[in-house]
Structure 1
Amino acid sequence: MRTYGQYCPIARGAELFAERWTPLIIRNLYLGCETFGEILAGAPGLSRTLLTQRLQQLERVGIVASAPKGHGRGHRYRLTSSGQDLFKVCETLGEWGARWLEIAPENLDPYVALWSMCNALRSERLPDRRVVIRFDFTGYRPHERYWLLIEQGETEICKTYPGLDEDLYITADAEAFVKWHAGQLTWVQATRDSQIQLEGPSWLVRAFPQWNSRSMFAHVKPDPSVGKAIVRTPT
C-alpha cells in the first residue's frame, strides 16, 4: 500500500479508504453481506483476487473481522467497531454524491440497482409464497435479463433462467429503474410513458412498488445546479 508519508489523519485515513473498491466492500458489509460471494455479487467488475487482497488488508488494520463458516468452506466477514465507524465516511460521501453528482449514462447499470433493492426490500410486505419475477432492462448496453426469486422472505437474483414458472414480467428502461430506486423519480413518474411496464396478476402489479424501500440516499435531493451546463463568458 502506498503512503503519503504524513501524520495528518486525513492522509492516513485516505491511504486505506481511497483504495479502489474499498468503500464498496465496506458498503456491502454494512448492508449485510457476510460471505465472499455475497460481497463480490454487489461489486460487479471486482475480481476475486483483488477482493481477497482488500479483505486481507482490512483485516490487518482491524476494520474487518472474519470467522470460519459453521458449515462448509470459507469464512464469514463483518465490520468491526472501527469498520462501523468508517462506514460513516461512506455515508457522508454518498450524501455528497447524491446531492452534487449527476447520474450519468455510465452509472446506469440496472443490475446494481436491482441488487441494492434486494438488500433493502421491506420483508414485512413480501408475499408469503414463492414469487419469480423476470426483469428485461432496455436502454443500457445490450438487452439485459435477470430473474428475482422471493421465497420465505429470502431473495436471490439469477442471471440465467432458474427453471421455475414466472409470476411477474417487468420491462424497464434502465434509467427510469435506477432513478426510481435512487429516489429521483416517483413510481408514477417512472411508469409514465411505459418506461416501466408490469405484466402479471393484478395483486403482484400493485404490490411490487411497495416492496422497494429505496436507496439509503433517496432522501437526499440533488442540488438544482446538478446537470446544468456551465457557460463561461469569453474574456
Structure 2
Amino acid sequence: MRTYGQYCPIARSSELLGERWTMIILRNILVGFQTFNEIADGAPGLSRGLLSKRLRELERAGIIEIRPKPDGHGSIYEPTQAGRELSELMLVLERWGRRWAELKPEHAHPGVVLWAWASFFLDRDRLPRRRVVIRFEYPTLPGPARRSWLLIEARDVEYCLKHPGGEEELIVVVHDPQAFVRWHMGQIQWRDALRSGAIEVTGSPELARALPTWNRHGWAADDPRAGYDGSTRHEPVPELADTPT
C-alpha cells in the first residue's frame, strides 16, 4: 500500500481508502452483501484476484472481519465498528456526487443499473406473485453484455446473466442507457423514455404497465436516505439505514 508520508488523518485515511475499487467494495459490504460472490456481482469489471487482495487489505486495516461460513464453505465479510463508521462518509460522498459529479455515458452501464435496481430498489410488494421472466437488451453494448434477465419468483428477484429458463413474458430494449439511469433515479418519467424511443417494451401489456411502478428511484434527489432503507433482502448497517441526509 502506498503512503503519502504524512501524519495528517486525511492522508492516513486516504492511504487505506483511496486504492482503486476499495470504496466500491466497502459500499457493497455496508449495504449488506456478505459473500465473495455478492460483493463481486456489485463490482463489474473488478477481477476476483484484485477483490481478494482488497478484502485482505481491509481486514488488516481493521475495517472488515472475515470469518468462515457456518457450513464451512467460503467466508462471510462483515464491517467492524471502524467499517460501520464509514457509512457516514458514504452518505456524504453520495450527496456530493448527486449534486456535483457529472453523469457521463461511461457511467451508464445498463446492466449495472439493472443489478442495482434488482438488489436494492425494487418495490417487492408490487411484484407479481407468480414466476415471471423479463429480458433486458442493450443494443449499444458488445457481445454477451447485450442481454440480462430478471427472474421473479414469490416476490423475490434474481438478476441473471444467462437465460433462467421459461417463457420471456416481457422484453425491455434499452436504446439509451443514460435515459435508463435517469428514469431509475427518478429524474425522468417512464412514459417520456418510451415516447422518445430511449426504451422500448414488448410483450405482456399487463407487465409492461406494471414494471415502472416497481421502481423506488435509487439514489434519487428526493430520496432522504439515498436508497439505503433496509427493505431489501440485504440488511444494511444501521447508520446507512437510519441516518437522514
TM-score w.r.t. the length of structure 2 is: 0.83
**Unaligned stretches of 5+ in structure 2?**
224-245
Once the two structures are superposed, the pairs formed by residues 137-216 of structure 1 within 5 Å of their partners are 137-141=138-142, 144-173=146-175, 174-216=177-219
Question: Residue in 1 aligned with 2:126?
Answer: 125
Greater mean alpha carbon deviation, residues 35-44 or residues 3-12? 3-12
- Cα RMSD for the two superposed structures: 1.9
Q: Deviations for 1:93-145, whole angstroms, at most 9, x for unmatched residues?
A: 22212211221121121111011101121222221111110001233456711
Hey, what's the Cα distance between the residues in 2 that align with 1:198 and 1:132?
A: 14
| Cα separation, 1, equivalents of 2:30 and 2:129 | 27
Aligned-partner SS, 1:103: coil
| Matched-pair contact (CA < 8 Å) for 1:134–1:148 | yes
Structure 1 residue runs of 5 or longer lacking an equivalent are: 221-235
Give deviations 1:63-93, integer Å, cap 9, x for gaps. 1122222236111212222212212212212
Residue 167 of structure 2 aligns with an amino acid whose one-letter code is D
Separation of aligned partners in 1, 2:72 and 2:221 = 38
Residue 26 of structure 1: aligned partner: 26
Match of 2:99 in 1: 99
Partner of 1:9: 9
Contact 2:127/2:214, CA 8 A, preserved across alignment: yes
Alpha-carbon shift at residue 193 of structure 1 (Å): 2.1
Identity over aligned pairs, percent: 47
How far is the alpha carbon of 1:184 from its aligned partner?
2.6
Alpha-carbon distance between aligned partners in 2 of 1:68 and 1:83, rounded to the nearest angstrom? 19
SS in 1 for 2:163: coil
Q: Alignment partner of 2:85: what SS?
A: helix
- Aligned equivalents of 1:126, 1:74: Cα separation in 2: 32
Count of residue correspondences: 220
Secondary structure at 1:26 match in 2: helix
What's the secondary structure of 1:138's corresponding residue?
A: coil
Q: Following TM superposition, by how much is the alpha carbon of 1:207 offset from its aligned partner in structure 2, in angstroms?
A: 1.5
* Structure-1-length-normalised TM-score: 0.86
Query: Could you tell me how far apart the structure 1 residues matched to 2:221 and 2:190 are?
Result: 13
Amino acid at match of 1:29: I
Q: Which has the larger radius of gyration?
A: 1
Structure-to-structure mapping, 1:51-70, within 5 angstroms: 51-70=51-70
Q: Distance in 1 between matches of 2:204 and 2:99?
A: 38
Residue 30 of structure 1 deviates from its aligned partner by 2.2
